[in-house]
Amino acid sequence: MELIKKNIISVIYAFVAILAIVASFFPLGGYIGELQKSLDDSKSKYSTLESLTTKQRNLPILSLDETTPLPLGMFPSQDVIDKAGKVVKEVAIQSIKMRDAAVGMNKRTRLVAGSLPNPGARDEIAFRDTYIPLMTFGPNGEISKLLAEYRAGIMPPKALIDKEVLERQNEIHQTKTQRDFRGQIINQQEINELIAQVAAEVPAERRRKLASESSFYVDATTLDVAPGIAGTARPRPESIWWAQVVLWIQRDVLAAITEANKGSNELSVAPVKRLRKLTVPFINTFVAAGGQTAAASDPAAAADVAVPKVVQASPTGRVSNGMYDVVHFRIEADVEVERIPHLLRTLSHNRLMTAFHVEAKAIDATEAQLSGYFYGDKPVAAVTLQCEALLLRSWTVPLMPKLVRQQLQIPDPPPPAVTAPTAAAQ
């Protein structure tokens, strides 16, 4: 014992060494793994902090003409941060204004106020009785009310011209005929010449009058009439919806052509001479991706979702989604060659419409004039435009009948909030 007391330090060291040797036989893998994980975490945090301190920082791009950011010369102070926050708020305000402006530019009115989304029997009949005269021609070839609104002109039918020729010829017989004492006509040659002159002049006069009073020519088949509207039966709400959608597109195109021809004193100098055909499909009207249209219970929230691009659908890649629906349509028109770009710009002016494919074929103006069309002396081409129009869902969804929303996989809007009644003042 005395020996141990004298060598206590050596004994302790020996005891510790023995414990270390014994401990080496116990499993320490878990403890070592935890130490390694802690070390890796510390290394990752260090790398992150190191990258943050050494990362190149750039100034924000605030111009639409710039694509390359400029490097940040110094780390922003609080004053710079406050100014940047103000700019962010201003950009947010401007974006909201742009969205509202786009909606205001795109929003359209209904042909009959109560016809959508849930028309009653009276509203359905009112839409039918308003739509049919708007789109169809009269029994004597009178132009439809819709085309008349935009000062479109249609070549008078032959039966109408023949009727006027006959009336004026009868007038010549009654007022110009001279007879002798025996009742025999003594100026038959003069009468024949006047009658022949009327037969040639009446068609030319009617066509010149048409050219001077019209903004552009149309044909009886220029616009298609929606199915499911005509007849004695009440049209279904979904038929009314698709007729209204196509009517919105038809009006936009007619308004664009009228705008393109604005300032032209007569049709012969107007850029757009004739609208031969405007085709908007009544079936599969909205362009979808893979047969499915994106749903949106809240169209306003769709602004935060990436808009899909499907180049198989069209060169623009636009398809219907939670923000808007896409309508493809075709315009066939006779246009002055040098004014074709003007028409393309006008179509897109204050309208969410784009021409994504253009074809043009030269027209013989002399041959056109022989057919009664006064095109002037500038080269004219028969142009075919493949176009698309966007209809923003923020205003269309509230007008959609329930069946249409189901077809487009759009959930029903939430019911209006019920406000608790307030206690009456005592």
What the block records as the tokens of 304 is: 């935060």
- Determine the pLDDT at residue 353: 96
Q: Which residue, 417, 398, 400, 426, is CA-closest to 103?
A: 398
- 48 to each of 42, 51, 52, how far by Cα in Å? 10, 5, 6
Both tokens of 209, joined, read 């009058």
Write down the domain spans for the chain.
113-151+217-407, 154-213
pLDDT at res. 166: 87
Give the pLDDT score at 29: 53
Tokens 């002037």 sit at which residue? 376
What phi and psi, each to the nearest 5 degrees, are found at residue 60?
A: -70, 150
Instruction: Read off φ and ψ for residue 14, nearest 5 degrees.
Output: -65, -40
Burial of residue 276 (number of CB atoms within 10 Å: 0-12, 13-18, 19+):
middle
What pLDDT score does 301 carry? 52
- In terms of Cβ atoms closer than 10 Å to its own Cβ (0-12, 13-18, 19+), residue 217 is buried
- pLDDT at residue 100 in the model: 81
Look up residue 180 and give its two tokens. 């002798």
CB 153 within 8 A of CB 216: yes
Q: pTM here? A: 0.74
C-alpha Rg value of the chain to the nearest Å: 39
One DSSP character per residue, 193-226 reads HHHHHHHHHHHHHHHHHHHHH-SEEE-TTSSPPP
pLDDT of residue 161: 75
Per-residue pLDDT tens for 254-275? Answer: 999 999 999 988 898 999 999 9
Ranges of residues in the chain with a pLDDT under 50 are: 15-26, 293-295, 297, 424-426
